[in-house]
Amino acid sequence: MRTVVVYSGGLDSTVLLAHLLAEGREVHALTIHYGQRHAREIESARAVCAHYGVEHRVADLRALGAIFGSNSLTNTAVDVAEGHYTEESMKTTVVPNRNMILLAVAAARAIALKADTLAYAAHSGDHTIYPDCRPEFADAMDHAIGLADWHKVRLERPMVNWSKSDIVRRGAELGVPFALTWSCYKGGAKHCGRCGTCVERREAFRLAGIADPTEYADDAPAA
Amino acid sequence: MRTVVVYSGGLDSTVLLAHLLAEGREVHALTIHYGQRHAREIESARAVCAHYGVEHRVADLRALGAIFGSNSLTNTAVDVAEGHYTEESMKTTVVPNRNMILLAVAAARAIALKADTLAYAAHSGDHTIYPDCRPEFADAMDHAIGLADWHKVRLERPMVNWSKSDIVRRGAELGVPFALTWSCYKGGAKHCGRCGTCVERREAFRLAGIADPTEYADDAPAA
């Protein structure tokens, strides 16, 4: 089975990549670069794909920035919120219709490769404050993607019922090179250890009972 | 009512723009630049929007060609740091799933503007041999776009039952500056008069009984 994976270089999509490879699939990774501040993620994506010998492409959508509203991931003037995600701090990270654009471009890649499926790393911890993280949105996109070409591609979310610590546990089973992955929204030399995704990353390792190999700039244990 | 129009600078979408303005709507035009064809269209789009005093943005997706171009098939990764792609190198590129990508990006603009609708110039002459021109694809995209954000945008195709000559007739009623629009696939200084879209354009004026102000390089009447 041939599958295109929406691949960010982060923890979740790296475990998804390894999980699908372990199923014996032919995996093609696609990273969407839409001008997010943490381009650092893309270096991680390349490193992980090289590790697994997986074909990897980057779709450069940075020129789209002009039509997105101001938000903290594309506008460096807005501070990245620290600590656990709250409704308010998460709203600042929303790029309008980001997931549809991402899935539309990834579906194009899947159609070009005559892939059977397009997979992405939605999981049970995804915050439904994002309307385009809701299952009904994913179902609608699956339907639309299936109609977009005579070659029918199925949209799948293999980890949709997994928690973030389930993902870490599965990654550990599969020997995923966690240290190569990138989560931090601040995009410095090391993970900051304090932003929303760093806090979630640390917590997932802790709850999974797996040693966290990540180097954090702020190495104090999470409060 | 506020509407984002997917606007190519061609005949059909120009009449759509004028038609929606005549309904008293607040119209925002969005042109998607794939680069695989005639940038000449974009100059026309700018000129028509200036004529009508309509806000106009261009979403530059030329970099997407890099993941679909034939010369990138053997690359394992595309360098995201690479600069502009030339018009020439993009000409051979066909982007699959083009309509979904186009609608996803335009929906992002509509969401950012809190528009009520997103309109595009599908008409009865659109060739349903293309899977993503089928009504069921448009319905699926309308459904997905409606779920993509808490602010619900409706996808509309106001001319879906119009023929190309109906479009010319409506344009003539509205005083559309036809000479500013661009259809030709060849993208020269004048419309070539011979390619598929030029033939359709000439025929639409002839069937509508409207004088065609277009300057064609080959000005012999269509056979």
| Best mutation target, B67, B72, B136, to test chain A (most A CBs within 10 A) | B67
Strand residues in chain A grouped as ranges (E): 2-6, 26-33, 55-60, 117-119, 154-156
pLDDT band at residue A125 under the 50/70/90 scheme: confident
Q: Do A111 and B105 touch (CB under 8 A)?
A: no
Q: Do B108 and A67 touch (CB under 8 A)?
A: yes
Q: Any CB–CB contact under 8 A between B190 and chain A?
A: no
Each residue of B180-202: pLDDT tens digit? 999 888 778 899 999 888 999 99
Nearest to A144 by CA among A98, A115, A108: A108
**Mean pLDDT confidence for A134-154:** 95
Q: Do B64 and A61 touch (CB under 8 A)?
A: yes
Q: To the nearest whole angstrom, how far is the Cα of A220 from the nearest Cα of chain B? A: 35
Is the pLDDT at A189 greater than 90? The verdict is no
Is the pLDDT at B40 greater than 90? The verdict is no
Instruction: Search chain B and give the residue with CA nearest A40.
Output: B80
Is the pLDDT at B88 greater than 70? The verdict is no
**Ranges A49-63, A168-182, A186-200, most confident:** A168-182
Which value does ipTM take for this structure? 0.86
pLDDT at site A88: 44
Write the CA distances from B157 to A137, B4, B128, B175, integer angstroms: 22, 12, 15, 21
Question: Which H helix or E strand runs over B62?
Answer: none
Each residue of A65-107: pLDDT tens digit? 766 644 433 433 344 445 554 444 434 434 689 899 999 999 9
Each residue of B8-31: pLDDT tens digit? 999 999 999 999 999 999 999 999
Contact A54, A27 (CB under 8 A): yes
Each residue of B103-138: pLDDT tens digit? 999 999 999 999 999 999 999 887 667 788 889 999
Q: Any CB–CB contact under 8 A between B160 and chain A?
A: no
Query: What is the torsion angle, in degrees rounded to the nearest 10, for the CA atoms of residue A173, residue A178, residue A179 and residue A182?
Result: 180
Q: Among residues 27-46 of chain A, which lie with CB inside 8 Å of chain B?
A: 30, 33, 39, 42, 46
Q: Do A144 and B105 touch (CB under 8 A)?
A: no
Contact A196, A84 (CB under 8 A): yes
Question: Which H helix or E strand runs over B31?
Answer: strand B26-33
pLDDT at site B196: 86
User: Can you tell me the distance from the alpha carbon of A184 to that of A182, in angstroms, rounded to the nearest whole number?
Assistant: 6
**Mean pLDDT confidence for A135-160:** 96
Is the pLDDT at B72 greater than 80? The verdict is no
Q: Among residues 192-211 of chain A, which lie with CB inside 8 Å of chain B?
A: none
pLDDT at site A139: 96
Contact A160, A124 (CB under 8 A): yes
Q: Any CB–CB contact under 8 A between A54 and chain B?
A: no
Is the pLDDT at B3 greater than 70? The verdict is yes
Which residues, at least 6 apart from A1, have a Cβ–Cβ distance to it below 8 Å?
Answer: A23, A24, A25, A26, A116, A117
Q: Do A61 and B66 touch (CB under 8 A)?
A: no
The alpha helices in A5-86, defined as continuous H runs, are 11-22, 40-52
Nearest to A38 by CA among A11, A74, A82: A74
pLDDT at site A68: 60
Q: What domains sit in chain A, N to C, each tagged with a CATH number?
A: 2-208 (3.40.50.620)
Q: Write out chain B residues lying below 8 Å of A100, CB-based.
A: 104, 107-108, 144-145, 148
Is the pLDDT at B141 greater than 60? The verdict is yes
Q: What is the CA radius of gyration of chain A?
A: 17
Q: Do B77 and A56 touch (CB under 8 A)?
A: yes
